Amino acid sequence: MVQGAWGVVPVHLNELSPGEFRGTFPGLAYQLGNFAAAYAAQQQAWLADHFRDANGNPNYALTMALVECFVFLAIILLAAIGPEKRGREF
């Protein structure tokens, strides 16, 4: 299910890339995203510690829901405002 949900991101990066950099830009942008996400586990642990449940335990369920909502909204926003190159010859 991951490829079904995230498979469109590299395709959209390919649409956004200038013709001269089409071979490099999508992979570089995707790997820079992976680099930014490398600290995600520490951020999520901090958030879970911040949002405690009724028993005083870290609330990982709420943390993961908030992180996923933020990611989904960010991708929807970026895809909506980004240019579309419909009918472009690759």
Q: Note the pLDDT tens digit of each residue in 63-87.
A: 999 999 998 898 889 878 877 767 7
pLDDT at 14: 79
Determine the Cα–Cα distance for residues 17 and 38; give it in Å rounded to an integer: 24
| Confidence (pTM) | 0.63
Determine the Cα–Cα distance for residues 80 and 45; give it in Å rounded to an integer: 31
